């Protein structure tokens, strides 16, 4: 066991001198978080397209994320990260970062970065990921990790249809999450399940009552940006009952089964989704703008292909509006304010 003075010295000499990644960032070396902690390296050989070297390292990644975010994350987060790594290696770095942003994870602070550094050091020195989780106070997550099966069904990498993210008819990738403070991560549909079909068994299709539809169209329809102090505004082509219904259905069709449906009665479900089209012949992906994002906390309104749908625990739609994925900043976070 190293003595703690040596670890603290390493942190001062090595950690504090590194760039500070407050959110997961893809670099040439791999996926970085905190003060240069590499959560996963890129594969150096193997698959042609390349990606993050996650196979066999899932438990390590989950334990490090738990250390950084102070909460255990669901294993399915790995598939999102895997996909982001593939996209990054394929050259679309901004889209890869958007995939990471869709995880909805909060930014971390210096204390989190230090804890992550300590966790990385512990793993490097031989601690097991489940030991680390126990030490962090998550014995149940440690047991889950011990049972974690990296060979569980997964959409083959490079298939072009990972997680139902892409379709040729303009459907978008969708990501469902509880409110971000709960950090329950989600993934899209496992292999072999037709998008949307699984919910018919366990959950109902989202309901948009006429009053809610009227409200969404009123406060997020054309003119909302100017009229309502910068609210997100759907383009006219989507700002119809049929258009909103279609956006909701597309988001829901690719949502994660275990995060949609009845749950805590006080809880709500947030679905993020994006509209794309893909040219089957060339593979070129084109973003389909759905509207203008609202005037955000730090960022100006932008034309966006991304939107959120908020459901209650009975799958009633509460609201839907276009968002700028970059506008996910915690206004009460002192570090955020310092960066203004």
Partner 1 sequence: MNWKIEQITAIPSVHNGRFDLHPQHGLACLVNGVKTQALYLNGHPCRTWSTEEFPDVWGVRWFSQAQVCLWLVNRNAVLASGTTWTPFSAGRLWDILCANDYIFVTYDDESVTRARPGEIEHNVLAVFSGDRIFRVGLVDLLLANRDNSSPIEINAAYTFNNTIMFVPYPGESVYILDADKKSLTKRDVSFNTVNTVAFSGNDKQAFAIVEYAEQFELVHVDLASGQSQKGDFRALAKELDEAGFKSGAWHFRSSLGGRMIVSDDRQAAFIELF
Among 8, 207, 236, 297, which residue sits at the site for partner 1 (rule: CB under 8 A)? 297
Long-range contacts of 94-100 (CB under 8 A, 24+ apart): 95/285, 96/26, 97/25, 97/26, 98/274, 98/306, 98/325, 100/23, 100/24, 100/25, 100/26
Among 226, 237, 283, 303, which residue interacts with partner 1 (rule: CB under 8 A)?
A: 226
CB of residue 223 vs partner 1: minimum separation in angstroms?
11
Among residues 204 and 337, whose Cβ is nearest to partner 1? 337
Q: What is the dihedral of CA 253, 212, 324, 74, to 10 degrees?
A: -50
Q: Which of 72, 75, 206, 232 binds partner 1 (CB under 8 A)?
A: 232
Does 229 engage in binding with partner 1 (CB under 8 A)? yes
Among 95, 268, 287, 315, binds partner 1 (CB under 8 A): 268
CB of 109 to partner 1, least distance (A): 14
* Residues in 104-133 that interact with partner 1 by CB under 8 A: 106
Query: Does residue 331 interact with partner 1 by CB under 8 A?
Result: yes
Please identify, using beta-carbon distances, which residue of 86 and 233 lies nearer to partner 1. 233
H-helix or E-strand spanning residue 317: strand 317-322
Number of CB atoms found within 10 A of residue 148's CB: 16
DSSP-H helix ranges across the chain: 4-10, 58-69, 77-89, 93-101, 110-124, 129-135, 139-147, 197-202, 210-220, 224-227, 241-253, 334-338
For residues 33 and 24, is the Cβ–Cβ distance under 8 A? yes
Closer CB to partner 1, residue 179 or residue 283?
Answer: 179
Q: Tell how many helices (H) and how many strands (E) occur in the chain.
A: 12, 12
From 54-62, 86-94, 117-125, 328-336, span contacting partner 1 (CB under 8 A): 328-336
In this complex, which beta carbon is closest to partner 1, that of residue 44 or of residue 211? 211
Residues 155-184 that bind partner 1 (CB under 8 A): 179-181
> Smallest distance from the beta carbon of 231 to partner 1, in angstroms?
6
Contact yes or no for 321/220 (Cβ under 8 A): yes
336 exposure class (CB count in 10 Å sphere: 0-12, 13-18, 19+)? middle
Contacts with partner 1, residue ranges (CB under 8 A): 106, 179-181, 211-212, 214-215, 218-219, 226-232, 265-268, 270, 294-295, 297, 308, 310, 312, 316, 318-319, 321, 328, 330-332
């Amino acid at each position: 066991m190293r003595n703690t003075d040596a670890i603290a010295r390493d942190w001062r000499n090595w950690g504090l001198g590194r760039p500070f990644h407050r959110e997961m960032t893809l670099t040439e070396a791999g996926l970085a978080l905190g003060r240069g902690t590499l959560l996963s390296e890129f594969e150096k050989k193997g698959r042609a397209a390349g990606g993050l070297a996650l196979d066999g390292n899932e438990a390590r990644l989950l334990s490090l994320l738990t250390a950084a975010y102070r909460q255990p994350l669901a294993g399915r987060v790995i598939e999102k990260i895997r996909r982001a790594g593939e996209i990054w290696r394929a050259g679309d770095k901004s889209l890869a970062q958007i995939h990471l942003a869709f995880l909805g994870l909060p930014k971390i602070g210096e204390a989190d970065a230090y804890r992550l550094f300590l966790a990385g050091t512990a793993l490097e020195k031989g601690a097991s990921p489940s030991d680390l989780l126990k030490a962090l106070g998550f014995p149940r997550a440690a047991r889950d990790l011990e049972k974690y099966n990296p060979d569980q069904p997964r959409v083959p990498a490079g298939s072009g249809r990972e997680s139902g993210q892409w379709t040729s008819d303009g459907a978008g990738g969708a990501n469902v999450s509880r409110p971000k403070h709960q950090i329950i991560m989600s993934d899209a549909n496992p292999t072999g399940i037709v998008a949307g079909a699984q919910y018919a068994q366990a959950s109902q299709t989202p309901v948009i009552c006429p009053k809610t539809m009227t409200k969404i169209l009123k406060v997020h329809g054309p003119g909302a940006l100017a009229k309502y102090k910068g609210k997100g505004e759907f383009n006219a082509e989507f700002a119809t009952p049929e258009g909103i219904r279609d956006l909701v259905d597309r988001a829901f069709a690719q949502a994660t089964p275990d995060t949609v449906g009845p749950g805590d009665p006080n809880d709500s479900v947030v679905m993020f989704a994006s509209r794309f089209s893909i040219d089957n012949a060339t593979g070129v992906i084109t973003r389909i703008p759905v509207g203008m994002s609202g005037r955000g906390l730090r960022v100006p309104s932008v034309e966006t292909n991304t939107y959120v749908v908020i459901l209650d625990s009975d799958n009633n739609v509460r609201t839907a509006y276009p968002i700028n994925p970059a506008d996910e900043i915690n206004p009460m976070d002192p570090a955020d304010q310092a960066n203004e």
